[in-house]
Structure formats: C-alpha cells, structure tokens
Structure 1
C-alpha cells in the first residue's frame, strides 16, 4: 500500500536540502527523477521552504521502501546538521501521477 510521508524540519534551509540531495545522489545534485534516489519505491517528491524551516512531502510505494530509504536519510541529515525529526506517515487513499 502506498504511503504519504511528511517531514517538517525546523531550521533546515534550501542550501542544506541541496547539500543533502547531492549526498543522496552520489554527487549528481538535486533530485530530478525518482530513479535518482538510493533505493527504489519513490513515487513522488516535493520540497519547499516554510516560515521556520523546510518541508518534504513524499509518496512511497510502501512503508518498507521508505524505511529502507530512511537508512540513507537519517545519517545524511545528521551530516548536514539538520535536527532529528520524526516523519509523519499516512496511508495513501489516492495517488495521482502524470
């Protein structure tokens, strides 16, 4: 079952996001397609600044796929100095892609 993952990270900014995605993609920069991620299963990804930090909203094929990604994500977030936050995970009711 697909899931929606919401990660709100106070204190994070666009430069940190770009640094993090560059690490996740092995130096290829900001992610432009799902196949750039280090594990399969990403359906969609959106990132945006918020008044107090950074927001990421992903859709994953399954919670297991996201958990595997988390094995890459958490160490990377620590390396760039982002605060440790717990993602909010919701079962997807409807997913529309282009």
Structure 2
C-alpha cells in the first residue's frame, strides 16, 4: 500500500535540503527518480514553509521507505537533524501525471 510521508525541518532551509540531496545522490543531483539509490518513490516535492522547510513524498510501500531510510537516516544524523520524525499516513488515492 502506498504511503504519504511528510518531513518538517524547523529552523532549516534549502541549504539543508540541498546538502541531503547531494549526499543521497553522491553529488549527482536529483532530477529524476533514477537518481536515487533506492527504488519505490512515486512523488517528491520540497519547499520552504514558515520557520523551516518541508518535504512531502509518496512511496510505494513502508518497506520501500524503510530501505531508503537506511541511506537517508545516517545523512540526517551527520547533518545534525537526527530528531526529525516524519508524519506517515496511508495513501487513499495517488494520481500521477
């Protein structure tokens, strides 16, 4: 079952996001899903919000997210954001273009 994942990074901005993406993709950037080392991502959006930065993703399954978290989690820890806990909800409907 697909899941919707939202990360809130209070007091962080695009610099943190760019640093995470740089490490996750080994400096190649993220412009297509094939850029990520782990499969299962359906959609990804990120942007500034009052007081921080938000990332919202749709994953094919919790297992796919957990696999990606093995790459993503240590990077957040290294960058001083180990305490960020995502909000995860089951997706009732996912529409992609």
Q: Please classify the TM superposition score into its range, dividing by the shorter chain length.
A: over 0.9
Q: CA deviation at 1:80?
A: 2.2
Kindly report the root-mean-square deviation, in angstroms, between the aligned alpha carbons of the 2 structures.
1.1
User: Structure 1 length normalisation: TM-score?
Assistant: 0.92
Where does residue 2 of structure 1 map in the other structure?
A: 2
Q: Is contact 1:11-1:82 (8 Å) kept?
A: no
Where does residue 59 of structure 1 map in the other structure?
A: 58
**Distance across 2 between alignment mates of 1:65 and 1:83:** 20
**Distance across 1 between alignment mates of 2:83 and 2:51:** 15
Q: Deviation per CA, 1:9-32, whole angstroms, max 9, x where unpaired?
A: 112210111111010001112x11
Q: Which moved more, 1:54-63 or 1:76-85?
A: 76-85
**Distance across 1 between alignment mates of 2:81 and 2:57:** 18
The gaps in structure 2 that reach 5 residues or longer are: none
**Distance across 1 between alignment mates of 2:53 and 2:92:** 25
User: Structure 2 length normalisation: TM-score?
Assistant: 0.93
